[in-house]
Homo-oligomer: A and B are copies of this chain.
Amino acid sequence: MNPGVLERIDTLIPEIEPDMIADRRDFHRFAEAGWTEFRTASRIARRLKTLGYDVSTGRSVCRDETRMGLPSPEEIETHWQRAHAEDGDPEFLESMHGGFTGVVGRLRNGVGPTLGLRFDIDALGVSESAESSHRPVSEGFASIHPGVMHACGHDGHAATGLGLARLFSEMRDMISGTLVLVFQPAEEGVRGARSMVEAGVLDGVDFMIGHHLMTGVATGEIIPGMGGYAATRKLDVEILGAPAHAGGSPEAGRNALLAAATAVLNLHALPRHRDGFTRINVGQIHAGTGRNVIPDRARLVAEVRGETSALCDSMYERAIRVIEAAATMHGCDSTVRPMGAAGTAESSPELVSRVVSIAESLGESVLEPLTKIGGSEDFTEMMLRIQQQGGQAVNIGIGADRSGIRQGDADRSAILGAHTSVYDFDEQALRHAMRLLSLLAVDLLDDPSGTPSG
């Protein structure tokens, strides 16, 4: 690799960093949950366009039928209006109407491989702490949206994405190949990745890089690859029967609650599997409105998991069969809505090795790869697609702990983000992320198959 690359990166970063932190705080302040990231996404799109990227948004990057776990149309509409009022970009908002909040920026720069980077942009349904000890409060960037908060660091991911966009733009002369920056909505609940994959945004991509800020890992430490995510599929079930006066004409009803109770028991009774662990949970049930009325409607909120995608899919199919039969049993109809899905995936070993070399060359402290995450992450959907088309993918953990209470090893809650009202990360980590990801990207484009320059 051209030895001037790192020098250039290190020159540019100090210029970019303040904006990157400002972006992070702006996104944090205007936190937007999955499929309603209108302000965030439209402003990202505008910025990419300004930087000279070829920008795609809306239905061209989010395939409608595979968006999962959408809020109600009314809710989406409300947030779209809100985004206008909060200085979302009007031009791009137009394309996002209806909740198509993904953004892809492409920078084509001569011949060479194609490298993608993914940044998730959504916040969580968490009410941010109002305590003055919580830094976003004391420094004035706490969420102004009640009940919505960036409690998993995606504000930082999005800001890093914009920082890298600018950096790559200024380093065009040193890059040969194509960069694809993928800003993904609705990672929480593993709802958004599939719709971008299905829209074809990864077609032709050779290398795909994801990263996640890790609050359980010290700034300056790097996990060079993560895998072993549990596969998961989330489903909402609606069972629809017919009401009847329970005292007067019980036989006239079609009892959605009996169907639901039967489904619940039998879902939990699905057999364990020889090939590895499986999980099933009905997390919620809500049925009926009266006391003396046969319930005509029941709603289940459920999830299956598996040690592998095959196990998870097998459980899912059995679950569907149980639900449909339980409804039929009581003369009811059932509808199953997929609310999220992520397979299991592994970081490509060659790419992990490459990350190790690059990180070491930057003086980062490199930890062991994580191979048994157990939790879920929908970047796996992108990793799998890339690997299926012959490419390589990696998900990198970037230490970002500001708690002072370092944990010996990065535990699950750290990986997933605390999802708590006092979550915060060390903004210094953004610089580490940008430095590692940019050098890795340029290096891969420069020498796709080779060993990294040490």
Which residues does A use to contact B, with CB under 8 Å? 189, 230, 232, 234, 246-253, 255, 257-258, 260-262, 264-266, 268-269, 271-275, 277-279, 281-295, 298, 301-303, 305, 314, 321-322, 325-326, 328-331, 339, 374-376, 412
Partner of A291, one of B274, B275, B284: B284
C-alpha gap A96/B255 in the complex (Å): 41
Partner of A269, one of B269, B288, B328: B269
A189-B291, A251-B271, A281-B293 known; 13 new pairs, CB 8 Å cut-off, are: A250-B271, A251-B314, A258-B265, A258-B269, A265-B265, A268-B268, A268-B271, A272-B277, A283-B288, A285-B298, A286-B286, A291-B302, A325-B329
Q: How far is the CB of A219 from chain B (nearest CB, A)?
A: 27
Find out whether the CB atom of A285 lies under 8 angstroms from the CB atom of B288.
yes
| 30 A-B pairs with C-beta separation under 8 A | A189-B291, A230-B247, A234-B291, A246-B303, A247-B305, A248-B274, A248-B374, A248-B375, A250-B271, A250-B272, A250-B279, A251-B275, A251-B314, A253-B271, A258-B264, A258-B265, A261-B265, A262-B262, A265-B265, A265-B266, A268-B271, A272-B272, A272-B277, A281-B292, A283-B292, A283-B293, A288-B301, A325-B329, A328-B328, A329-B329
Q: Which residues on the B side are within 8 Å of A272 (C-beta)? A: 250-251, 272, 277-279
Find out whether the CB atom of A257 lies under 8 angstroms from the CB atom of B269.
no
C-alpha gap A305/B246 in the complex (Å): 10
- Assuming the contacts A257-B264, A291-B234, asked whether A321 and B328 have C-beta atoms less than 8 A apart, the reply is yes
Q: How far is the CB of A24 from chain B (nearest CB, A)?
A: 28
C-alpha gap A269/B281 in the complex (Å): 10
Q: Which residues on the B side are within 8 Å of A266 (C-beta)? A: 258, 262, 265, 329-330
Q: How far is the CB of A414 from chain B (nearest CB, A)?
A: 14
- Assuming the contacts A265-B258, A265-B269, A329-B326, asked whether A246 and B295 have C-beta atoms less than 8 A apart, the reply is no
Report the nearest B residue to A251, measured CB to CB: B273
Report the nearest B residue to A264, measured CB to CB: B261
Partner of A250, one of B281, B292, B412: B281
Q: How far is the CB of A290 from chain B (nearest CB, A)?
A: 5
Find out whether the CB atom of A269 lies under 8 angstroms from the CB atom of B268.
yes
C-alpha gap A295/B271 in the complex (Å): 13
Find out whether the CB atom of A303 lies under 8 angstroms from the CB atom of B284.
no
Q: Which residues on the B side are within 8 Å of A246 (C-beta)? A: 279, 281, 283, 303
Report the nearest B residue to A294, measured CB to CB: B281
Q: Which residues on the B side are within 8 Å of A248 (C-beta)? A: 274, 374-375, 412
C-alpha gap A258/B280 in the complex (Å): 12
Q: How far is the CB of A187 from chain B (nearest CB, A)?
A: 15
Report the nearest B residue to A273, measured CB to CB: B251
C-alpha gap A285/B325 in the complex (Å): 20
Report the nearest B residue to A321, measured CB to CB: B329
Report the nearest B residue to A282, measured CB to CB: B257
Q: How far is the CB of A175 from chain B (nearest CB, A)?
A: 41
Q: How far is the CB of A282 from chain B (nearest CB, A)?
A: 6
Give the top 5 A-B pairs by smallest Cβ distance, nearest first.
Answer: A246-B281, A325-B329, A268-B269, A284-B288, A261-B261
Q: Which residues on the B side are within 8 Å of A252 (C-beta)? A: 274
Find out whether the CB atom of B284 lies under 8 angstroms from the CB atom of A295.
yes
Q: How far is the CB of A333 from chain B (nearest CB, A)?
A: 13
Report the nearest B residue to A271, measured CB to CB: B250
C-alpha gap A215/B301 in the complex (Å): 44
Q: Which residues on the B side are within 8 Å of A301 (C-beta)? A: 288, 290-291
Report the nearest B residue to A274, measured CB to CB: B249
